[in-house]
Amino acid sequence: MIFYLCTYLIILVFCVISSDTSKSNRVLIFSGIFVGLLLIAGLRHNVGTDYPTYKLFYDNPDQRDIQFEYIYTPVRNLLTFFGLPSPAFFLLCSFITFFYFFKGFKAYSVSIPLSILLFITLGFYTNSFNIVRQFVALGLYFYFGLRYMKSRQFFHYLLTILIISVFHISALLMLPFYFIVNLNIRAWQMLIVLLAAVLINIGILSISLFTTPISAVLPPHYAGYLQFLEHYLSTLEEPLLVKFLNNVDKITILFLLLKYKPKLLAADASNKILINFYFIHVVFLFISRGLAELQRIGFYFSIFSLLAIPLLLLIPENKYGKAMMATGITLLYTAYFFFFVLGKNVGEVIPYKTIFQ
What's the confidence (pLDDT) of residue 28? 95
pLDDT (0 to 100) of residue 285: 84
10-residue mean pLDDT series, the chain (357 residues) = 91 92 91 96 92 91 81 94 94 98 97 97 95 96 97 96 95 95 89 81 52 54 49 50 67 94 95 96 79 81 97 94 95 91 87 88
- Cβ 15 vs Cβ 310: under 8 Å: no
Residue 354 forms beta bridges with which residues? 44
- The CA distance from 122 to 332, in Å, is 10
Q: What is the pTM of this model?
A: 0.87
Domain segments of the chain as ranges: 1-171+344-357, 181-315
Contact 168, 145 (CB under 8 A): no
pLDDT score for 216:
56
Q: Which residues of 112-133 are buried (b: 16+ CB within 10 A; e: fewer)?
A: bbbbbbbbbbbbbbbbbbbbbb
Residue 227 confidence (pLDDT): 53
Helices 72-81, 86-108: crossing angle, 10 deg rounding: 120
- Residue 223 sits at φ, ψ, to 5 deg, of -60, -25
- Which H, E and C letters describe 203-220, residue by residue? HHHHHHHHHHHHHHHCCH
- pLDDT for the residue 286: 79
Q: What is the pLDDT of residue 175?
A: 96
Note every long-range contact of 190-197, with CB atoms under 8 Å and residues 24 or more positions apart, other chains counting. Answer: 190/254, 190/258, 190/279, 193/279, 193/283, 194/282, 194/283, 194/286, 197/283, 197/286, 197/287
